Amino acid sequence: MILTISSSLLFAAFISYLLATLLFGGAVHGKKDETESHKRFAKYAVWVTLAGFTLNVGYFVCRWIAVGHAPVSNMFEFTTAFGMFIVGAFLILYKAYRMPALGLVALPIAVIVIAYASVFPKDVAPLIPALKSNWLTIHVITTVIGEAILAISAFSGLVYLLKRTNVFQRTRERFALETILFTLVVFIGFILATLTFQATNYQADFQYVDQKGERMPITYTMPALVGMNDSTALTENHLAPFVEAPAWVNGKKVTSVIWSLLYGIVLYGILRILFRKRLVALLQPLVRKADLSMLDEMNYRAVLIGFPVFTLGALIFAMIWAQEAWSRMWGWDPKEVWALITWLYYAAFLHLRLSKGWEGKKSAWLAVIGFAIIMFNLIAVNLILAGLHSYAG
């Protein structure tokens, strides 16, 4: 019963964020300076966002009660928490800076993150022994809050770049920004592809020979475009793989990437045909009223706040828990390595900002790249690289 309520609350929050995005669009539309109409749209957008965040917190609390521990123990729970804390961080910074254009980036990405969570199993499973600790709550929640605050830095950086870039000239900056937006569309394509095949209950079973020469079973949840090494089909009426991967390549994961690209390219093409312009040119008018100096300050302050929170959660608390669970503080597990890489990157960010004077455009690019590292950690490290944190998948 409580799980059903929590799911309903999450869906209601999802719809609220979509509606708030439209309202923020009303707050920035047109070429005129801010008017009473724009202020009303912004006010309504904030109230709807706050209502959605309240519903989101309600989901989090209800699921916590239902599962008996902090709901951050698997990919579905962690990713929904990430989306929730992104919205929470946005609301705090919006109160200080009143930047409606930021809502047009923060809320859609929070929506995409929550939609991404929906591709993972929502079932409640008993915690494995390594996770039965209060450090699950302390370490993971602190980490995700730090990452959410750092994400706001990237969003302000993206708005800064969208306003500063000349979208009518062929420049490396325009190409880079369009590539970022295309990557985001491909990410949406992955979600659409996964949900599409989930809706049709697609499943194809194979056996393959792994690197040790042993025959192993594997189940494809998308039509197999790339087969596993020396694979044999166990399911009738399936799509036969077009090519077979060597033993060191995971054909199932390559298949997922290809389907994501196919869906993403089609979706990008539809958007280009529908609006008859590049995505950068489509979005730039929406950030015309944004204040560059305020965006730069928001970028910097978000890192100043998020970096120590991330340090506390992803490194200090993580090492304490690792010592308790595995009798060692550091083990070069892929997740640990990428947490360290993320920490070093933002440490370099602050160094370049404070000692080298990397402000404005340089700082904005650094923030955007930092978020790309966070997302790589969330997606690739959790789902592709094997390690002690593989239970997260």
Domain shared by 312 and 373, yes or no: yes
Query: Residues 174-188: pLDDT tens digits?
Result: 999 999 999 999 999
Among 231, 250, 277, the domain boundary falls at 277
Alpha carbons 115 and 10: distance in angstroms, whole number: 11
Same domain for 240 and 301: no
What residue ranges in the chain does DSSP mark as E strands?
A: 204-209, 215-220, 226-227, 232-233, 243-244
State which residues form the domain around 163: 2-167+283-383
Say whether pTM exceeds 0.85: yes
390 found inside a domain: no
Q: What is the predicted pLDDT for the residue at 249?
A: 79
How far, in Å, CA of 304 to CA of 321, rounded?
25
Q: Which two tokens stand for residue 337?
A: 């390595």
Do 306 and 359 meet the contact criterion of CB atoms below 8 Å apart?
no
pLDDT average, residue stretch 347-351: 94
**Would residue 154 count as lying in a domain?**
yes
Claim to verify: residue 272 and residue 219 sit in the same structural domain: yes
Q: Give the residue, 297 or 236, on which the prediction is more confident.
A: 297
Residue 393 pLDDT exceeds 50: no
CA distances from 102 to 148, 266, 291, 295 (A): 14, 27, 11, 9
Kindly report which listed range (231-235, 331-335, 352-356) carries the lowest average pLDDT score: 331-335
Residue 316 lies in a domain: yes
Model confidence at 121: pLDDT above 90: no
Name beta bridge partners: 233: 206
128 and 36, same structural domain? Answer: yes
Q: How does residue 34 score in pLDDT terms, banded at 50, 70 and 90?
A: low
- According to the model, what pLDDT value does residue 214 have? 87
* 81 and 136 co-located in one domain: yes
Name the percent of the chain lying above pLDDT 90: 54
- Please check the confidence at residue 277 and state whether its pLDDT lies above 50: yes
Indicate whether 130 and 240 sit together in one domain.
Answer: no
What would the pLDDT profile of 43-93 be if each residue is shown by its tens digit? 999 999 999 999 999 999 999 998 888 898 888 999 999 999 999 999 999
Residue 67: inside a domain:
yes
| Residues 138, 100 share a domain | yes
Q: Is residue 391 part of a domain?
A: no
Residue 204, strand partner residues: 220
119 within some domain: yes
Could you tell me if 369 and 247 lie in one domain? no
Per-residue pLDDT tens over the stretch 144-170 = 999 999 999 999 999 999 998 888 888
What tokens were used for 217? Answer: 């079973």
Task: Identify the CA nearest to 80 among candidates 138, 122, 24.
Answer: 122
Q: Based on the domain organization, do 52 and 179 belong to the same domain?
A: no
Same-domain status, 332 and 350: yes
Q: Rg (Cα) of the chain, in Å, rounded?
A: 22
Structure token digits, residue 353: 């900002």
Helix (H) or strand (E) run with residue 352 in it: helix 334-355
Residues 188 and 149 in one domain: no
In a domain, residue 393? The reply is: no
Across the chain, mean pLDDT equals 88
Name the domain boundary from 277, 298, 333: 277
Question: b/e for 262-274, b at 16 or more Cβ within 10 A?
Answer: ebbeebbeebeee
pLDDT at site 391: 45
Examine residue 389 and state whether it is found in any structural domain, yes or no. Answer: no
Residues 47 and 156 in one domain: yes
pLDDT greater at residue 138 or residue 130 = 138
Domain boundary among 227, 256, 277: 277
Residue 200 DSSP SS3: coil
Number of domains into which the chain is organized? 2
